[in-house]
Structure 1
Amino acid sequence: MSDDSSPAFSLRFNLGRIPVVVEPMFWVMTLLLGLGFKDEPRLMVCWTAVVFVSILVHELGHAVMALTLGSSGASIRLYSFGGLCYHQGLGRWRNVAISFAGPLAGFLFAGALYLARPHLPLYGFPGYYIYKFLMYVNIYWGLMNLLPVHPLDGGSMVVGILGPSRYRMALSLGVFTAVAVVAYALATKDRYLAVLFGLLGVGCFQKLSTAKDLKPLEPVKVAEVEPDALARAWQALRSGNESEAARLGHLALSAAKPGEESNAARDLLAWVALADGNARAALSHLEKVQPPEAARPYSLAIAYEAADLPDRALPHALAALQKEPTEAVAALAVRLLVKAQRLDEAERTAREFAWKAPGKRDALLADVASARGDFGAAAALHASVFEATGHAEQAYQAARNHARAGEGALASEWLRRALDAGYDDFETLGQEPALAEARSAPEIAERLARHGKASA
């Protein structure tokens, strides 16, 4: 990881081949979870150290298993909500094993402590409390992490075990489990558990509302293969004929030789699935590429982003930027770097890439500025892009950032210009809290009212 890939004051070190970054918010959240010990500073220190060591052991379990199963690299990030292990996607069943390895590492750590108990100084301070905290975090948190609620490790395992054709079933199980845990937490007055699984349950339900299962494919006879099926499939996909692209892609796959030919067909089918809005099906195709590292990084990055897994998408996007430095790849990399709050790296990537039109660079730099909270600079960049391109979305973003900078008059002016340029996403406009004042301006309020009547 680069030195500027994380927030300021992050702790960075390596454990063998595995880079580790500990963000400042990790310490803040750990201290908040230990507020029950606020009157005992020594206990708070013990608690913080135990949580750090335990979550690091958990993430090391993921990382070591990923490297053992063939990942070209792995890294660990401890952040506000716990830990993340970044690694290369290795296919359905190997990813199940990687998910289980985290809780397993904690259980083995706790087991080793239990067996060593006769030889440990467990009486008095701090030995008794450190041992008690270690057993609690590694066993109780490990068991909680195995509950089948996505994105907990148990939820990821269920998704892998049930497979892409039963993805909705896995999410439904997550929703029901979260509801049950929340009910238990309310009965036992465990507010933290109720809030945590309430948020996880809502996340599962939101994914369930848009998720699609991958339908099993009918076997295709080799005799049905058509000449140049793969090239024609790409042509059909680019022209918007997804059904024809899928038909030709499956025909190409049925006749492909293992290796480069079959991998190319699977890449095409992944893009067909993405065009159909089925990110899980796209990932299923890409996970079958052999060897796994032969999968096209850009395809993996797009599929993971579409599956709402930006942390998994980012390493592939950065790899794609090295292999195929197109504008689409560069824009994706910057977008994901912004989501990961790697803002210096995002800005450097946007500035150093050779864009054909400066407007694309400035639009991405505006996103970086907005993520930093420099809304005035973001508004100026969006305004510059609008002047060059006339795109209504850029005028709307200029209005939104002016409003967030407290510049009400400029926000109203740019919102008017966005409407004049044809901006028509009135649902988004109506829900943006920063633009409440601008929407109330007489001229704009009248135009929005006319639109409401026309829609009715």
Structure 2
Amino acid sequence: MSTDSSPPFSWHFSLGRIPVVIEPSFWLVTALFGMVGARGVPQILSWVGVCFVSILIHELGHALVSMSLGSGWASIRLYSMGGLCYHQGLSRWRSVAVAAAGPLAGFLFGGIILAVNHLAPPRSLMTFVIFRDLMWVNFGWGIINLLPVPPLDGGHVAGGVLGPTRQRIALWLGIITSAGVVLLALSSRMFYAAFMFGFMGYGCYQALSTTRDLKPLKPVKVAELEPDALARAWQALRSGNETEAARLGHLALSAAKPGPESNAARDLLAWVSLTEGNARAAVSHLEKVEPPQAARPFSLAMAFNALGMPDRALPHALAAVEKEPSDQAAALSVRLLTKAQRLDEAERIAREFAWKTPAMRNARLADVASARGDFGAAAEFYATAFEAAGRAEDAYQSACHYARAGHVERATDLLERALKAGYDDFEALGQEPALAEVRSVPAIAEQLAQRSRGAA
């Protein structure tokens, strides 16, 4: 399971206490949209800038309102399909306010631009194009975003206003609205809009079908039918049966008393979501723990890290080392501290923590040495970890770091040992720049050729 969902080359920065991640796909897809209508390069660049500023302000509206209404944190991510704001779970009506805040922030920004345009009208084609794009993105997209169709903001508003007992009505409203927009878009030959709303309408239909199949379960009957549901759920999860673990976890939650019992069930469901690769669902489960401080810090650390929010994960990981010490919590803390360039703290934990095996300690010290650029020390630590546990990955990392330090003979020896130990990621091996000289060594080249022929 990946511990960081941010793709390579993402741009990370913060607006006050709000971390922001801009994925490369945001720039690419926005530029592709800008090419519609045979725009020149300056107009495409201005379109990208307009979308970046406007969507960021939209998501900032969600984030600021959520924090003002009691959310302890908020973060923003811009990606191929637009923007997302993550925040701590809030009550029903506060969540409605947060959903409406994004479009309203865009309307406010658009109003400011209108005022500036009135005071200083555009005097060139480029300024007129920028003004036109700002009006469309902030007012046009804002109005569309308020349509009552999940996952648009209007869909969240409608679902919140109707309440948890009328979610089927909210879904039907989404289906009917989507159908109307599709018909209108097709009549206007706006095929992309028709596709998007058709896709969202189909999603509402699927959710409606699922909701129809769900039946409320009485806690007493659940306890009778599924004794020890939570313990059996953990057993199923450890054996790789996520579906059964989720079923038992929901049963345990429905039968649990508020407090420690329900919190334990939500923790289990969070780990099921993490195993399935759904970090957002994991965070959602953990946000419902009462009181919030009762959530397990290691679970929170893993969920936020999987969500691509290492800055949010780090304090929880450090708390886990103190409150529920384990090799996994200490290893995660070292990795997050290393990523944050807090290398002295990372080294202190790596050296002082009571690891179950020396291999874990040496591998984490190797991570810190590598971050410092001390490739020779990193190679030695990885080699020592390999000697202790025999993990092929440690031998491979040692080879890479010896190669970076210029010790080709040692790198060749460790790579041979990694291959004998079962290292089989030949794609990574073939693309690693540091191992270019090592791959040309006859003994290594012959082994790689033999394995390539065997794979073919």
TM-score interval (norm. to shorter): 0.5 to 0.7
Distance 1:284 1:38, change over 3 A: closer
Distance 1:236 1:123, change over 3 A: closer
| Conserved? CA contact 2:279–2:307, under 8 Å | no
SS in 2 for 1:328: helix
| Conserved? CA contact 1:310–1:336, under 8 Å | no
Alignment match, 1:309:
307
Q: Which sections of structure 1, spanning at least 5 residues, go unmatched? A: 1-6, 164-196, 198-212
Distance 1:232 1:21, change over 3 A: closer
| Conserved? CA contact 2:230–2:252, under 8 Å | no
Alignment match, 2:228:
229
User: 5 Å matches for 1:22-41?
Assistant: none
User: 5 Å matches for 1:57-456?
Assistant: 57-74=57-74, 87-90=87-90, 98=98, 101-114=101-114, 116=115, 119-124=118-123, 131=131, 134-135=134-135, 138=138, 219=217, 221-225=219-223, 229=228, 232-233=231-232, 236=235, 240=239, 249-272=249-272, 274=274, 282=282, 285-286=285-286, 288-290=288-290, 294-303=294-303, 305=305, 309-311=307-309, 314-322=311-319, 325=322, 326=325, 327-336=327-336, 342-345=339-342, 347-353=343-349, 354-357=352-355, 359-367=359-367, 378-402=378-402, 409-423=409-423, 426=424, 428-435=425-432, 437=436, 438=439, 441-446=445-450, 449=453, 452=455
Question: How many residue pairs end up in the alignment?
Answer: 386
| Conserved? CA contact 2:63–2:74, under 8 Å | yes
How many angstroms apart in 2 are the aligned matches of 1:295 and 1:359? 30
Counterpart residue type for residue 347 of structure 2: R
How many angstroms apart in 1 are the aligned matches of 2:51 and 2:247? 52
How many angstroms apart in 2 are the aligned matches of 1:402 and 1:81? 42
Give 1:329 deviation, angstroms. Answer: 2.4
Counterpart residue type for residue 119 of structure 2: L
Give 1:222 deviation, angstroms. Answer: 0.9
1:263-287 Cα distance to aligned partner (Å, 9 max, x none): 2222223334545666676556445
Distance 1:351 1:231, change over 3 A: same
Q: Which sections of structure 2, spanning at least 5 residues, go unmatched? A: 1-8, 165-195, 197-209
CA RMSD of aligned residues (A): 6.1
Point out the structure with max Rg over C-alpha.
Answer: 2
Give 1:81 deviation, angstroms. Answer: 12
| Conserved? CA contact 2:253–2:265, under 8 Å | yes
Counterpart residue type for residue 122 of structure 1: P
Q: TM-score, normalised by structure 2?
A: 0.58
| Conserved? CA contact 1:351–1:361, under 8 Å | no
How many angstroms apart in 2 are the aligned matches of 1:72 and 1:256? 26
| Conserved? CA contact 2:76–2:84, under 8 Å | yes
Identity %: 48
| Conserved? CA contact 1:256–1:262, under 8 Å | yes
Give 1:395 deviation, angstroms. Answer: 0.5
User: 5 Å matches for 1:12-51?
Assistant: 14=16, 18=17
Distance 1:244 1:54, change over 3 A: closer
Distance 1:405 1:336, change over 3 A: same
Counterpart residue type for residue 236 of structure 1: Q
How many angstroms apart in 2 are the aligned matches of 1:397 and 1:135? 53
How many angstroms apart in 2 are the aligned matches of 1:368 and 1:109? 45
Give 1:344 deviation, angstroms. Answer: 0.8
Distance 1:79 1:272, change over 3 A: closer
How many angstroms apart in 2 are the aligned matches of 1:260 and 1:296? 11
Give 1:67 deviation, angstroms. Answer: 1.4
Distance 1:11 1:444, change over 3 A: closer
How many angstroms apart in 1 are the aligned matches of 2:316 and 2:412? 42
Q: TM-score, normalised by structure 1?
A: 0.58
SS in 2 for 1:219: coil
SS in 2 for 1:267: helix
Q: Which segment drifts farther, 361-370 or 412-421?
A: 361-370
1:32-71 Cα distance to aligned partner (Å, 9 max, x none): 999x99999xxx9x99997786455234212113214431
How many angstroms apart in 1 are the aligned matches of 2:273 and 2:82? 32
| Conserved? CA contact 1:51–1:137, under 8 Å | yes
SS in 2 for 1:356: coil
1:140-199 Cα distance to aligned partner (Å, 9 max, x none): 78789999xx9x988x979x99x9xxxxxxxxxxxxxxxxxxxxxxxxxxxxxxxxx9xx
1:285-332 Cα distance to aligned partner (Å, 9 max, x none): 445445666543432443455xx5222x65145224225532322323
How many angstroms apart in 2 are the aligned matches of 1:70 and 1:297? 20
How many angstroms apart in 1 are the aligned matches of 2:345 and 2:385? 18
